Chain A
């Protein structure tokens, strides 16, 4: 550990605000990059499942149908 204390690490001789904000923005973007497609995938599967249930009885499974 280069810094002696937590406060020093946060402060970084006055540069702390810049360094930490850069890292937090990056964390935000990375989280979005990972989270957004996973959420889209879950949501899509849920939608499709609902769609299949709605059409059940009318169409056999796997048949093509209008969206």
Chain B
């Protein structure tokens, strides 16, 4: 009897991660709740004037999405390291590259996808022009996938450390910056009546590159983190 084929195995991992996420619905809602709360902070800090808020909305929404992604990234591999699943994963005969991709995909489905789908609601709360909402949702869907991949690198490098929580932000926030620039750029362009397509295309290119490269870094990072 031979080990499972790589595709079968990745689907198995994906299903496992999704079931694990869905059995804790509250934790699934936490990033969204965080998003809502931070969005609520801005009117309190900037004043409730609709014009100001609408002008800052693309940046605000993108920064909050970035932070909520950052907060959840730390947990991608942590429980698996703590209960010993991670070392079993590393010993699996299938390439770790694809396993890492499956983990990140599960993370994106449980955070970024939900955030992208829920973002129109928050956009309306900040008074973003309805015309820019499709660009916001599309840029968030593409961009958070890149963020999840980059966050996975940070998680893989810090999962073995006792105090990784703050460190992961320091490591990966610089790498988040291009995504923030192009993501909020897409929304801004839509606001100004320009096509958002070029920005989404750049985000798509970033996504392709991250899919190709990030799992390698994640795999290497995990091998280091398990090697105690």
Indicate if A touches B (C-beta under 8 A): no
Residues of A within 8 A of B (CB): none
Residues of B within 8 A of A (CB): none
